[in-house]
């Protein structure tokens, strides 16, 4: 699976996240990549909404590194690797256990440690583009 599309607004980015989430089931892993301001948080809010989680409750876990949302249709484990310096720091967050927990994993700044993701990971890249953003999906 590889595709891309243009997003005209933050609302489009939220809808893209929601649309993807609605196609996934427990055990899915989504690796989110994009520079600062590319729309990762908007995408994540929409993604959570697609799982039945109130999107206003969703924030980027930049300082906490992991937010867990268990009030939706499927548990969501939302990571942000931006402040991590070494992959070993994920051990303390329970990365391996969370991958086996049966929820969905969404990891921002996933390109920092691509080697830890399972082969079934869906890679989502957001890029700035003239007049909006471009999003691409790769599995």
Supply the CATH number for residue 95's domain: 3.40.50.300
43 and 125 in contact (C-beta within 8 Å)? no
The predicted pLDDT at position 33 comes to 97
Number of domains forming the structure of the chain: 1
11 lies in which domain range? 2-138
Residue 59 clears pLDDT 80, i.e. is over it: no
**In residues, how long is the chain?**
139
Q: Cα–Cα distance between 13 and 40 in angstroms, integer?
A: 8
| Residue 62 scores a pLDDT above 90 | no
Percentage, residues of the chain above pLDDT 90: 78
Q: What's the mean pLDDT in 71-91? A: 92
Cβ atoms of 95 and 6 within 8 Å: the answer is no
The answer to whether the CB of 69 falls within 8 A of the CB of 76 is yes
- pLDDT tier at 43, thresholds 50, 70, 90: very high
Model pTM score: 0.92
């Amino acid at each position: 699976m590889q595709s891309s599309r243009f997003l005209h607004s933050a609302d489009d980015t939220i809808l893209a996240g929601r649309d993807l989430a609605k196609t996934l089931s427990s055990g899915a892993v989504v690796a989110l990549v994009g520079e600062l301001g590319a729309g990762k948080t908007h995408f994540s809010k929409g993604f959570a909404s697609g799982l039945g989680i109130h999107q206003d409750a969703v924030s980027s876990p930049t300082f906490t590194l992991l937010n867990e949302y268990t009030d939706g249709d499927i548990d969501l484990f939302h990571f942000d690797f931006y402040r991590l310096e070494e992959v070993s720091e994920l051990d303390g967050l329970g990365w391996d256990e969370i991958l086996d927990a049966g929820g969905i994993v969404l990891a921002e700044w996933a390109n920092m440690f691509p080697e830890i993701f399972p082969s079934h990971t869906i890679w989502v890249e957001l890029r700035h583009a003239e007049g909006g953003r471009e999003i691409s999906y790769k599995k």
